Amino acid sequence: MAGLRALTSRGRSFLASGVAALLMALLLGEHDLLRIGVLIMALPLLAALVVARTRYRLSCARRLDPPRIEVGGEATVTLQLENVTRLPTGLLLIEDTVPYALGARPRFVLDRVESRGVREIDYRVRSDLRGRYTIGPLSVRITDPFGLVELTRSFSIADTLVVTPHVVALPHVRLSGEWMGGGDSRTRSVAAAGDDDVAPREYRQGDDLRRVHWRSTARHGELMVRREEQQWQSRGALLLDTRRHAHRGEGPRSSFEVAVSAAASIGLHLAREGLGLRLVTDQGPEHLSDTGVSWSLLDTLAVVRPSPARSLELGLTALRQGGGDGLVVAVLGAMDAEEARELAKVRHGSATGVAVLLDVEGWEARDYGSADRRQAVEAVLAGSGWRIVTLPAGTSLATVWQSAGVKNRFTVGGAA
């Protein structure tokens, strides 16, 4: 029955023609027509039987190069098919499952794969939209030489392609006297500490024998050494405003996508300079892995979507609860002076606050009054010690990032 269901239009036509020829032969008593009808009807039935009993054993492997690309970039997908049986295959129609955002589904035809033979197929994918896309599973359609029967079999394996936001290289800016931005962690020596305060560890090949801590060695029964230095890494927080109502425009050129790209560029820039970074949105904290923070940040931002939230309350609460941040960078859409006052309270002590304000009026020409609101927000934040980076529509963040090193361009009253 599976073979009959796999009949193609040609196969059904042959079967119907054979049945019609048989009926006419019986009505007219034509033995030659009867033989022709039997032959025509037998062809698709035999083909269905052969294809249904075919036990091709194919192994499939897929490789993405690279598995992570930037918006607008391309990746190469390599399919490797191997015939692991002793029988050669017939005609194979190969089709891989690809999301619409990555382009049309690739289709290939393999005439024959010999016993233990291997075939490699390459195709390219690209996307102008961020996201995490599943590629696969692969389907193989097996046909007979006459095209009467077609049977589809699918593999279960699938791979994931991550399309990350667009990242621009930013110039080095001295953000504060306390956090140099050069990536050098501050250290302190504990060699002068008392024996009870030392946190020893086991001896490793190459350790200086002068660092051996004899009291701990006697206690543990193995050679222990002092930890001469403890690393102190600067910490920072990155706030991304994802509120739908705070952004303008649609698609890849919207202010929301520009904000995500700006957050990715700033986060990657700071992480490369040695800053221990955490990501917060208006929905609260986002988890970043301790290892490979840069990739974890890009993977998280690849799938971030506009939120229905109306305020930054959850995000500001997460910033306060984290604590200990020497640097806070906020990438913001449209906001009012009251929201700016709440954000201004997050920066405290000697911490540096940098507000990247998207000039959303450039994405919506009829948003009257937005310029006045933005200037009021700038005045509130600058009056509280924040540094202001204004990002107009169509402008690269790299060209305005130097403003992050400029202190207090505005006073509390809003005058320049």
pLDDT in tens, 157-182: 899 999 999 999 999 888 764 443 33
Handedness of CA 255, 179, 170, 125 (dihedral sign): negative
Q: Is the peptide bond before 171 cis (omega within 30 degrees of 0)?
A: no
DSSP-derived secondary structure letter, 100? G
Positive or negative: CA dihedral 193, 194, 198, 203: positive
Q: For residue 41, what are its two tokens?
A: 């009807």
Instruction: Provide Rg for the chain, Cα atoms.
Output: 33
Instruction: Say which residues have a Cβ less than 8 Å from residue 114's Cβ, sequence separation at least 6.
Output: 83, 88
Q: What is the mean pLDDT of residues 384-401?
A: 93
pLDDT at 56: 65
Give the Cα separation of 139 and 148 in Å (integer). Answer: 19
Q: Which residue has the higher pLDDT, 338 or 374?
A: 338
pLDDT-above-70 percentage for the chain: 83
With CA atoms as reference, report the closest residue to 116 among 90, 85, 92: 85
Specify whether the CB–CB gap between 14 and 38 falls below 8 A.
no
Q: Which two tokens stand for residue 266?
A: 């700033």
Query: Among 266, 282, 256, which Cα is nearest to 363's?
Result: 256
Burial of 415 (0-12, 13-18, 19+ CB in 10 A): exposed
Query: pTM higher than 0.85, yes or no?
Result: no
| Cα gap 349→377, rounded to integer Å | 21
By CB atoms closer than 10 A (0-12, 13-18, 19+), residue 111 is exposed
Residue with the bigger pLDDT between 258 and 276: it is 258
Q: Between β-strands 201-202 and 138-143, what pairing exists: parallel, antiparallel or unpaired?
A: unpaired
Look at residue 3 and tell me whether its pLDDT is greater than 70.
no
Residue 2 pLDDT > 80: no
In this prediction, residue 184 carries a pLDDT of 39
Q: Which of 86-95, 350-359, 380-389 has the lowest mean pLDDT?
A: 86-95
Exposed (0-12), middle (13-18) or buried (19+): which is 79, by Cβ within 10 Å?
buried
Question: Of 72, 391, 139, whose CA–CA distance to 263 is shortest?
Answer: 391
At 153, is the pLDDT very low, low, confident or very high (cuts 50, 70, 90)?
Answer: confident
| pLDDT of 281 | 96
Q: Is the pLDDT of residue 29 over 80?
A: yes
Report the pLDDT averaged over residues 79-83.
91
CA distances 293 to 236, 270, 324, 372, Å, are 13, 11, 18, 38
- Residues 317-324, mean pLDDT to the nearest whole number: 81
The whole-number pLDDT of residue 124 equals 96
**pLDDT mean over 252-265:** 95
- Which residue is listed with tokens 């009021």? 376
The torsion region of residue 375 among left (phi > 0), alpha (psi -120 to 50) and beta comes to alpha
Q: Which long-range contacts (CB under 8 A, 24 or more apart) does 106-111 make?
A: 106/77, 110/81
pLDDT per position as a tens digit, 100-123 = 999 889 999 888 888 888 999 999
What pLDDT sits at residue 170?
A: 94
Highest mean predicted confidence (pLDDT) among 4-8, 128-132, 219-223 = 128-132
